[in-house]
Structure 1
Amino acid sequence: MDYDAIILGAGGAGLMAAATAGQAGARVLVIDHADRPGKKILISGGGRCNFTNTGAGPANFLSGNPHFCKSALSRYSQWDFLALVERHGIAWHEKTLGQLFCDGSARQIVAMLLEECRKGGVEIWLGTRIGEIEHADGRFRVAGCVARQLVIATGGPSIPKMGATGIAYDIARRFGLEVVPPRPALVPLTLGQEDALFTSIPGVSCPVVARVGDVAFEEAALFTHRGLSGPAILQASSYWRPGGTVSLSVLPDAAGTLRAARRHMPRSHLKAVLAQHLPTRLAEVLALRIGLTRELGNVTDADLDAATATLTRLTFRPTGTEGYAKAEVTAGGISTAALSSKTMEARDVPGLYAIGEAVDVTGWLGGYNFQWAWSSGVAAGLAIAARHGCP
C-alpha cells in the first residue's frame, strides 16, 4: 500500500494534481469521503461548469500575498486547460466577461478529469474516511496507506450540504502551517431593518456598479428578502468586511437625467422619471429613500445634487452574509507564506502540499476559482513527479 503521493480530495484541484503526477510516472492515490468525485464541479455554472475565464490573471485573485498565484497561473494557463477540454471533444461556449461553459454538462469535465487520472494509473478511493494522519521518517500514513508526499486538496467549508468541511485547516495546523482566518466569499449580503425598503422588493434586479473601497464591479445586482445578491454583489462580497459598506451606482448619469427631466418635464415626479430607467418597484423605493415629493420643476439644484448622490452611490452597511451555506467559495485558508509558489509544497514540511480552495487564494466570480484549481493542481503534480525522478 505504498504510493509516491496521497492526495486528499477528489475535487478539481485534487484530480488535476493526481492526473499530472500519475501521467508523469508517479504512483498516486486519491482519497475522498464523498461518494462521487468532483461534486462541486457538477453543480457549478447551473450544471454546465464555468470551467475557466479567458481573462484569468493574477489581478483576479485575492490573497495575503497577491504575487503568490503568478507562477502557477503562468505555467498552466486558461488556454492550457481549454486545449485539454478540446482534446476531449467537449463543446464549449463563451458567455459575458470571458466566462467559458460546457455546451452540454458539467459531467463532461468530471469525466475528462477521471479519464486523465485513468491514463496516469491513479487510484481513487471514494467514501473513505481520512482519519488520523501519521508522519514519521519522512513518510505520511493515511487510511492504512503510506507515501512520501501528501497533498491537501479538500477545499474549504463553502456549500456544506455538498459535504464540504474545514478539514484542510485542521491538517495544516497539525503540521504547523499558519491558517488565514477563513470566511465566506462570493456570497449574498444581508441587510438590517434600516434598509427594509430594499428587502421589500425581492426578485428585482438591475445593472449596477458595486463598490467596496477602491474595488468596483459592473454587473447585475439582485434585491432579495434578506438583502443583496447577484453577480455584482457576490464579487463585492469577497472584499467586504463586517462593519464596512457597499455602495451601488444604479443610475450612473443621474445628474444629466434628472436635470433634463426638470427642464423638459417640469411637472413630472422623481418616481416617474426613475421608472423610465429602472424597474418600477426599485424606482418606487428609491424615490421614497430620496424623499423628493414635489414636481421636478420646483426642485432646487441642491435637492437634485442630493438625489444624484444617492443614485450614484446608494450606500448600505450590511449586517453580515448568508454564510458558507450560500457562499460559492471560501476566502482565507492555508497561508501562502507557508508554501512555495512554484510547487505548492510546504516550506518547513517536505513532501506536504496544499492546493486549490484550501489555500489563501480566492478568485473572482466567473471561472477564476476553477482556473486556480487547475493551475495549482498542475504545479503540485509536476513537483510530485520531479521529486521521484519521473520524466
Structure 2
Amino acid sequence: MFKNTVILGAGAAGMMCAAHAGGDCLVLDHAKSPGEKIRISGGGRCNFTNLDTTPENYLSQNPHFCKSALARYTQWDFISLVERYGIAWHEKTLGQLFCDGSAKQIVAMMVEELQQAGADLWLQTSVEKIRHEGETYHLTLLRDGKPQQVSCKNLVLATGGKSIPKMGATGLAYDIARQFDLPLIDTRPGLVPFTFPDGRFTALAGTALPTRLSNARAQFDEALLFTHRGLSGPAVLQLSSYWHEGEEITANLIPTMDLFTLLRDQRQLQGRRALTTELARHLPGRLVDFLAQEFKIEGRLADQSDAALQALCTQLETWRLTPGGSEGYRTAEVTLGGIDTDALSSKTMEAKQRPGLFAIGEAVDVTGWLGGYNFQWAWASGHATGTAIAARS
C-alpha cells in the first residue's frame, strides 16, 4: 500500500496534522484508542490551550524555534475549532481553558476532523521496521498480529516522548531520529513532582498552600502540595522543568503576606498567645507544627523582638530545600529535550537533511509550561506540518 503521508501517533499533534495534510494520509498508533493523553488530561476535562500562550512559555535549546508555528496557529484558532463543534469550555486560572464536560469531546472532535479530511486511522498497529529508498519511506507494520507493508512520501513522527509509560509512551521517535541521523537533545522528565528521602514530608501529606518556588533559573507563584513522597502541586511541576539533579530550590511560604507586620501587631494585642498559635492563623496548622521543629519556633508573641520576628519571616520566605530526585517519567506530564530543532525547519517541521521526514509535538525539543501550553504546541506544530504537506500535494 502506498500513501502520500503516514503519521506515527494518534495523539494531539498527529491528529491535527492529519486533519490538514490532505486525504491520502494514514495515522498509525499502537494504542486501542486515539488521543489517550488528551482523554486523561486536566482531570478528564482536557486543559486544551491557554489564553496567554506566547513563545516565552516554552523551553528549548532554541527558544525562537516555536515562534513561527505558534504565530500561524494560535490559541484563538483552536478555540474557534472547539466552539464550531459546540464544546462548552471555561477558564479555570491563569488563562487555562478546560472543557465543561469531558476531554473525550476533544478526542472525538479531532477524530472527526481527520476523518473529514479523508485520513485513515489504524489503531493497535506497531512499527517493526522503517527503511528509506529514494524519495520513499517503507514501513513494516504489525497490525492485529499480522505483518503489513506501507510506503509513503511523507513520514511524520508524532509519537510523543517518554512520559507516562503505563499509557504506552516509548522513545520510538528518538529511535527513528537516530536511524535517520537527526541529532537529539538529552531527554529528562518535566512537569513532575519532587521526591525527598526518608519520607521527610509524610506527616504533611495533603497539605497545600500558595507559595513562590524558585531556583537560579525560574520562579513560579502557584500552589505547593506536600505528599508522602515529597512535593507536588503546580509550583513544583512548573519549577521541575527548570531543575537539575542535586540542585537546591527555595520556597517562599508567605509570598503575598506581610507576616512581620501581622505578628508585630498581634504582639501588642495578644502578647500571651503562643507564636505557633498565631502562625497557625496564617499557615496550615500541620505545616506550623512541622516548621516549629524545623526552625525551632517557640515561646509567646510577647517574647519575640522585632529582630526575632523578622528573622522568622526571612526563614519562611527563604526555606531552602534540596530534592532527592523526581518521580521520573512514571508521572511526568512531559518530556524535556528530544529531536534537536536545529535539524528541522521551523515553518514545516521537516528534517533539513531528510526530505519527507517530519517531527512534531512532544517528540521535538520544545516543551511548554503547565497549563495547556503543550497542547497548543501540539496543535500548532501539527498544523504547520499538515498544511505544508497539503501545499505540496
TM-score, normalised on structure 1?
0.95
Q: Secondary structure at the match of 2:127?
A: coil
After TM superposition, list the pairs within 5 Å mapping 1:18-33 onto structure 2: 18-22=18-22, 26-33=23-30
Q: Which sections of structure 2, spanning at least 5 residues, go unmatched?
A: 142-148
- Alignment check: 8 A CA contact 1:191 1:199 kept: no
Pairwise CA RMSD: 1.3
Instruction: Please tell me whether residue 295 in structure 1 is matched to residue 292 in structure 2.
Output: no
CA distance in 2, matches of 1:261, 1:225: 34
Q: Secondary structure at the match of 1:130?
A: strand
The residue number in structure 2 matching 1:11 is 11
Q: Which amino acid aligns with 1:162?
A: M
The residue number in structure 2 matching 1:158 is 163
CA distance in 1, matches of 2:357, 2:215: 36
Q: Which amino acid aligns with 1:82?
A: I
Superposed CA offset, 1:145-181 (max 9, x none): 1111110000011111111111111111111111111
CA distance in 2, matches of 1:292, 1:52: 44
Instruction: Please tell me whether residue 72 in structure 1 is matched to residue 108 in structure 2.
Output: no
After TM superposition, list the pairs within 5 Å mapping 1:48-59 onto structure 2: 48-59=45-56
Offset at residue 265 of structure 1 (A) = 2.9
After TM superposition, list the pairs within 5 Å mapping 1:82-101 onto structure 2: 82-101=79-98
The residue number in structure 1 matching 2:215 is 212
Superposed CA offset, 1:256-304 (max 9, x none): 2333333433323321121001111011112221113222322344433
Q: Secondary structure at the match of 1:129?
A: strand
CA distance in 2, matches of 1:330, 1:256: 43
CA distance in 2, matches of 1:138, 1:221: 52
The residue number in structure 1 matching 2:109 is 112
Q: Secondary structure at the match of 2:228?
A: coil
The residue number in structure 2 matching 1:358 is 363
TM-score, normalised on structure 2?
0.94
Instruction: Please tell me whether residue 136 in structure 1 is matched to residue 133 in structure 2.
Output: yes
Instruction: Please tell me whether residue 375 in structure 1 is matched to residue 380 in structure 2.
Output: yes
Offset at residue 314 of structure 1 (A) = 1.5
CA distance in 2, matches of 1:209, 1:261: 25
Offset at residue 381 of structure 1 (A) = 0.5
The residue number in structure 2 matching 1:246 is 249
Instruction: Please tell me whether residue 126 in structure 1 is matched to residue 123 in structure 2.
Output: yes
- Alignment check: 8 A CA contact 1:17 1:381 kept: yes
CA distance in 1, matches of 2:314, 2:61: 34
Offset at residue 214 of structure 1 (A) = 4.1
Q: Secondary structure at the match of 1:350?
A: coil
Q: Which sections of structure 1, spanning at least 5 residues, go unmatched?
A: none
Q: Which amino acid aligns with 2:45?
A: R
The residue number in structure 1 matching 2:152 is 147
Q: Secondary structure at the match of 2:204?
A: coil
The residue number in structure 2 matching 1:225 is 228
Q: Which amino acid aligns with 1:7?
A: I
The residue number in structure 1 matching 2:326 is 321
1:257 to 253, 262, 265: 262
